[in-house]
Amino acid sequence: MNLKLTNAFSLPSFGKPVLPPNSVDAKVDIEPILALWASFAGLLLFAGYLLYEKGVWASLLSADPTCLTALIVILFVGATVWVGLRANQLEQEYEHFTQFETLLIDSPSAAKDWLKRKQSSWAYEYFTAIQSKGQAWRDHSRLVDLLAEKTSAPHEMPWWINGVLLKLGLLGKVIGFSIMALQLGEMSSFDSGQTSAVLKTLTGGLGIALLTTMTGLTANILLGIQLMRLDRFADYVTAKAIKISEVDLQKIMDC
Q: pLDDT of 33-45, one tens digit each?
A: 999 999 999 999 9
56 located within any domain: no
Say how far apart CA 219 and CA 168 lie, in whole Å. 11
Burial class from Cβ neighbours inside 10 Å (0-12, 13-18, 19+) for residue 251 reads middle
Give per-residue burial for 101-140: e unless 16+ CB within 10 Å, then b. Answer: bebbeeebeebbebbeeeeeebbbebbeebeeeeeebeeb
224 located within any domain: yes
Say how far apart CA 90 and CA 111 lie, in whole Å. 21
Give per-residue burial for 168-205: e unless 16+ CB within 10 Å, then b. Answer: bbebbbebbeebbeebeeeeeeeeeeeeeeeeebeebb
Q: Is the pLDDT of residue 13 over 50?
A: no
pLDDT the model gives residue 189: 61
pLDDT in tens, 66-91: 888 889 999 999 999 999 999 999 99
153 located within any domain: yes
Question: Residues near 19 by Cβ (< 8 Å), separated by ≥ 6?
Answer: 9, 25, 26
Q: Is the pLDDT of residue 187 over 70?
A: no
2 located within any domain: no
As a dihedral over the C-alpha atoms of residue 119, residue 97, residue 233, residue 129, rounded to 10 degrees, the angle is: -70
In contact, 71 and 166? CB cutoff 8 Å: no
115 located within any domain: yes
Reported residue count of the chain is 255
Structural domain that includes position 242: 67-253
pTM above 0.85, yes or no: no
125 located within any domain: yes
183 located within any domain: yes
Phi and psi angles of residue 18, each rounded to the nearest 5 degrees, phi first: -80, 120
pLDDT the model gives residue 66: 82
pLDDT in tens, 84-127: 999 999 999 999 999 989 988 888 888 888 888 888 889 888 88
In contact, 165 and 222? CB cutoff 8 Å: no
Domains: count for the chain? 1
DSSP code of residue 65: T
Measuring CA to CA, which residue among 131, 136, 95 is closest to residue 113? 131
37 located within any domain: no
